[in-house]
Amino acid sequence: MEANFISNSTGTTFHVLSDNSTVSSLITTIDTNCSSSLSSSSSTTPQPFNATAPGVPQPEQAVQYFRSSSIVLTLDGYNNSATYNNDTNAPDSPLPSGIDMTLLDCLNQTISLAAPLINGASLPHPIIPSSAGFVGFVWLVWCLSSLV
Convert the pLDDT of each residue in 44-84 to its tens digit: 999 999 999 998 999 999 999 998 889 999 999 999 999 88
pLDDT band (50, 70, 90) for residue 115? confident
pLDDT at residue 42 above 60? yes
Torsions phi, psi for 72 (to 5 deg): -130, 140
Give the separation between CA 37 and CA 74, rounded to whole angstroms: 17
pLDDT of residue 123: 45
139 vs 34, higher pLDDT: 34
Q: Does an H or E element contain 13, and which?
A: strand 13-17
Give the separation between CA 37 and CA 30, rounded to whole angstroms: 10
Alpha-carbon distance values, 138 to 99, 128, 141, 143, 148 (Å): 69, 19, 5, 9, 16
pLDDT of residue 127: 41
pLDDT of residue 116: 75
